[in-house]
């Protein structure tokens, strides 16, 4: 007999959890409300037992309890639908998170020495971030176009910019990493251009930081004279599992103080 009662108790408890949304706080609130209700009824019966017919009180209680049971049953029967909606929402969120998403930061400048407040050896970078829950494969940052103030277009598009972590001691023999994988929520820093702003000679150059060995001695024109600025640089960020490459344009310029600037324009 007690096993049957225990089974009924478990069923009622499950019903209560389903009807209240399976929330610990809601169940606690329900238990407290039920206790207050029972105590209130007991007090009313005690004080009104001589003035009100006890059968009327019992009948009223039956109606109230019946309405509560109907309410719980409706919520219990609706629980599978609620669970379906919740799970569908979670699935949609998961699928959305699994779509590869790249985010490109605003340009960031780094100076040497770090304490410099004016002219320095200045390097401009961008930060590429994987804003999804899936690994982005074979990510690559390339020059799509470079136009100087005279409208001259660089004759060698498609050159890859180097990773900040690639700092070779022997330039001529170094094999740069041109592609990289990005784990979820991870970032990679990419060097774009640099200038020794204290160099006032006619040989001063803004160096485009391509991932090619010994760029200043190669056939690629990586060093740009200061009198050819500003330049409009368009870069392209692509990856194996990103559907469409991202194209972003920047203005590279030397300001009135002789400092190298890199500002996003699109």
Question: Which stretch of DSSP H or E encloses residue 17?
Answer: helix 2-19
- pLDDT computed for residue 27 by the predictor: 57
For the chain, give the percent of residues with pLDDT over 90: 37
What is the C-alpha to C-alpha distance for residues 27 and 127, in angstroms, rounded to an integer? 48
DSSP letter assigned to residue 186: -
Within 10 Å of residue 140's Cβ, how many Cβ atoms? 19
Q: What is the C-alpha separation between 204 and 216, in angstroms, rounded?
A: 13
Beta bridge partners of 145: 234
What's the rounded Cα separation, in Å, for the pair 23 and 44? 31
Which tens digit of pLDDT belongs to each residue from 216-235? 444 456 789 999 999 999 99
Which residue did the predictor score with more confidence, 46 or 75?
A: 75
The pLDDT value given to residue 48: 59
Beta strands, E only, 209-245: 223-225, 231-238
Tokens 């004016």 label which residue?
A: 118
Q: What is the mean pLDDT of the chain?
A: 78
Q: Which of 2-11, 86-95, 246-255 is predicted least confidently?
A: 2-11
Contact assessment for residue 254 and residue 262, using Cβ atoms and an 8 Å cutoff:
no
Token output for 235:
């870069």
Boundaries of every domain in the chain: 2-98, 102-264
Whether 248 shows a pLDDT value over 70: the answer reads: yes
What is the token pair recorded at 182?
A: 């990005």
Mapping DSSP to helix (H, G, I), strand (E, B) and coil, where does residue 125 land?
A: strand
Check: CB of residue 96 under 8 Å from CB of residue 199: no
Which whole-number Å values give the CA distances from 150 to 115, 229, 232, 259, in the listed order? 36, 9, 11, 21
The pLDDT, as a whole number, for residue 191 is 93
Asked which of 133-137, 175-179, 208-212 is least confident by mean pLDDT, the reply is: 175-179
Q: Which has the higher per-residue pLDDT, 80 or 111? A: 111
| The pLDDT value given to residue 175 | 74
User: What does pTM read for this prediction?
Assistant: 0.65
Peptide bond preceding 230 in cis form (omega within 30 of 0): yes
Write the DSSP string, 142-153. Answer: EEEEEE-TT-PB
The single-letter DSSP state of residue 160 is B
Instruction: Tell me which of 2.40.160, 3.20.20, 2.60.40, 1.25.40 is the CATH number of domain 102-264.
Output: 2.60.40
**Interatomic CA distance for residues 76 and 83, integer angstroms:** 11
């Amino acid at each position: 007999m007690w096993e049957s009662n225990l089974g009924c108790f478990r069923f009622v408890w499950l019903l209560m959890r389903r009807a209240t949304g399976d929330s610990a706080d809601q169940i606690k609130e329900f238990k407290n409300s039920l206790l207050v209700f029972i105590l209130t009824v007991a007090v009313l019966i005690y004080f009104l037992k001589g003035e009100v017919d006890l059968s009327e009180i019992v009948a009223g209680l039956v109606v109230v309890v019946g309405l509560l049971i109907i309410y719980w049953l409706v919520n219990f029967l609706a629980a599978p639908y609620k669970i379906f909606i919740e799970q569908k929402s979670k699935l949609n969120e998961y699928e959305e998170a699994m779509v590869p998403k790249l985010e490109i930061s605003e340009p960031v400048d780094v100076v040497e020495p770090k304490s410099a407040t004016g002219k320095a050896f200045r390097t401009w970078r961008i930060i590429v971030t994987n804003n999804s829950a899936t690994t982005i494969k074979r990510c690559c940052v390339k020059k799509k176009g470079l136009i100087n103030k005279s409208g001259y277009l660089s004759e060698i598009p498609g050159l890859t910019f180097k990773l900040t972590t690639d700092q070779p001691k022997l330039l001529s023999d170094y094999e740069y990493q041109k592609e990289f994988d990005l784990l979820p929520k991870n970032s990679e820093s990419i060097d774009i251009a640099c200038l020794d702003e204290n160099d006032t000679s006619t040989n001063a150059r803004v160096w485009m930081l391509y991932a090619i060995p010994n760029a200043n001695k190669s056939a690629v024109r990586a060093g740009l004279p200061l009198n050819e600025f500003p330049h409009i640089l368009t870069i392209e960020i692509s990856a194996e599992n990103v559907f469409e490459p991202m194209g972003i344009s920047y203005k590279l310029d030397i300001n009135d103080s002789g400092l190298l600037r890199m500002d996003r324009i699109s």
